[in-house]
Amino acid sequence: PGTETTSEGAAEATTEVDHVIVGAGFAGLCAAIKLAEDGEHDFVVLEKGGDVGGTWRDNTYPGAACDVPSQLYSFSFAPNPEWTSSFSPQPEIQAYLRRVASESGTLDRFRFGTRVEDATWDDEAARWTVRTTRGGTRETWSARTLVVGAGGLSEPKLPDIEGIGDFAGHLFHSARWDHDVDLAGKRVAVIGTGASAIQIVPEVQKVAGRLDVYQRTAPWIIPRADRTYSALERAALRHVPGVQRAYRTAVYWARETYVPAFTFQPGIAFPARKLAEANIARGIRDPALRKKVTPHFALGCKRVLISNTYYPALAADNVDLVTDRIARVTPTSVVTADGTEREVDVIIVATGFHTTDLPITEHLVGRRGRTLADRWRESGMAAYKGTTVPEFPNLFMLVGPNTGLGHSSMVFMIESQVQYLRQALRTMRVSSYAVVEPREDVARSWNDRLQQRMKRTVWHRGGCSSWYLDEHGRNTTLWPRTTFGFRAALRDFDAAAYAVRGAPAPLTPGT
């Protein structure tokens, strides 16, 4: 795509395109498909991995599956009659994304194996300069708009534990599973008890000789209402018009009822708490172990997890749930604060992701010459409508600040943001704007209102710490209202909230 130009004195060619999209997960793929649909064909998708899929390409751990119902976890414009169960396993989601990408006819604009080194706004040219490396080759792209769909849960966070770097056995993060390591009969440690760990533990328990699960905070876990679709159901989903949409709509509205229950009136979460307590009682007989896994914070404060197999796995003979703090790791063992040393062959760190300190923001340089990370270090992670940021013209962040969900599908949020992007591009085209940048005052009041609302939520008041909160205790990751509220807010591009600029004056010949 684009035009290749080599500017005088520049070391490498610059390819000009209208739009650069970063990332080929749900977000980047959605943006690519919708831009192409609007006739905006001059774009490139830069993806550091070798395939589409994002988080669903990277998280290949045993047991990986979605905890959002399948019918909701797909694009509204690309329903999937192939789902085999109500909660899809990772390979099905990855296959779905591959199919959607290949049928979209946009794959020729995807550059795999391409890492974005930095992206810098050139205010005079009103363009982003995006520098990349692909293998040993450097490439530079110049684009009017930059769409960042690099994911909010994509950069693994390793625990800061003394000696962990010296461990001589195998150690890997849940999102970078090492399939070459055979766990059969091994002594394995899993650090963490979040959404990833509770899917991993039952699978590892089946094969490991011994498994130590290191729990810092017990999570709330309700039963997983999963079931395989019957042949009749699958046939109906595939062939009877409207059935799939009816399933989707039913799940969607059921999920929206969680918003007031879990976020604003924790008391209403009482039945869910009872369900979670019954889940513990059903899975574990030993009163001491039951006590260890019973959480001490309001349900909903951290992500509510779903599993039918985690508690029975913890109760198995070859598993130990360790609640003492990890003091250090030696080349052969994990040592806890009480002085106990447990020898292990493999350590699996299921310790989550960089969420409020997204690494890509260190490499996005805005109009004032500072990085987005620097801006956010000063003001906290914040964007206007979760998508655009003052000082960073023509930048659209998909899955940006305060767009995460605890209750429903991120695909819905992504589609809402892509709708906003499309409307922005239409407005720019019709009104001949070269630059749109959200106004500081408008962005501030959007975020002030959001944070005011946040104070009433269980995420602030539920007595837990979680990746939802930044170091100042502000929730800068989740959306505190209904998803249809978000969609309504992003339906149209509100140009009045933006400082806009026309096309740059053509350069005087000879300059």
Q: Nearest approach, Cβ of 347 to ligand N01 (angstroms)?
A: 11
Angle at 438 between CA 437 and CA 439, to 5 degrees: 115
| Residue corresponding to tokens 């943001």 | 417
Nearer to ligand N01, 159 or 504 (CB): 159
> Cα(486)–Cα(482) distance, rounded to whole angstroms?
7
Biggest CA-to-CA distance, the chain? 83
Shortest CB 200 distance to ligand N01, Å: 9
Specify the pairing of strand 319-322 against strand 210-214.
Answer: parallel
- Measured from the CB atom, is 161 or 373 closer to ligand N01? 161
Of 147 and 189, nearer to ligand N01 (C-beta) is 189
What is the nearest approach in angstroms of ligand N01 to the Cβ of residue 198? Answer: 8
Q: Give me the least distance between CB of 497 and ligand N01, in Å please.
A: 29
Closer residue to ligand N01, CB minimum distance, 153 or 425: 153
Reduced to 3 states, what is the DSSP secondary structure of residue 107?
helix
Our CB check for ligand N01 shows the closer of 142 and 193 to be 193
Helix (H, G, I), strand (E, B) or coil at 447: helix
Residue 340 Rama label (left phi>0; alpha psi -120 to 50; beta): beta
**Residue 32 CB, nearest approach to ligand N01 (Å):** 23
Residues near ligand N01, by CB under 6 A: 65-67, 153, 159, 161, 174, 191-197, 214, 216-217, 303, 326, 350-353, 467
In 294-421, which ranges are E strands? 305-306, 319-322, 326-329, 333-336, 341-343, 346-349, 364-365, 395-397
Contact 156, 176 (CB under 8 A): yes
Q: Which DSSP category does 2 fall into? A: -
Q: How far is CA 81 from CA 250, 255, 261, 284, in A?
A: 16, 21, 31, 37
Q: How far is the CB of 459 from ligand N01 (least distance, A)?
A: 12
Nearer to ligand N01, 152 or 366 (CB): 152
CB of 59 to ligand N01, least distance (A): 7
Q: Which CB atom, from 31 or from 349, has the smaller least distance to ligand N01?
A: 349
Backbone angles phi, psi at 372, to 5 degrees: -65, -35
Q: Which is nearer to ligand N01, 58 or 139 (CB)?
A: 58
DSSP 156: B
DSSP-derived 3-state class of residue 417: helix
Distance CA 99, CA 198 (A): 29
User: From the CB of 392, what's the least distance to ligand N01, in Å?
Assistant: 26
**Measured from the CB of residue 161, what is the shortest distance to ligand N01 in angstroms?**
6
For ligand N01, the closer of residues 34 and 224 by Cβ is 224
- Angstrom distance (rounded) from CA 204 to CA 199: 9
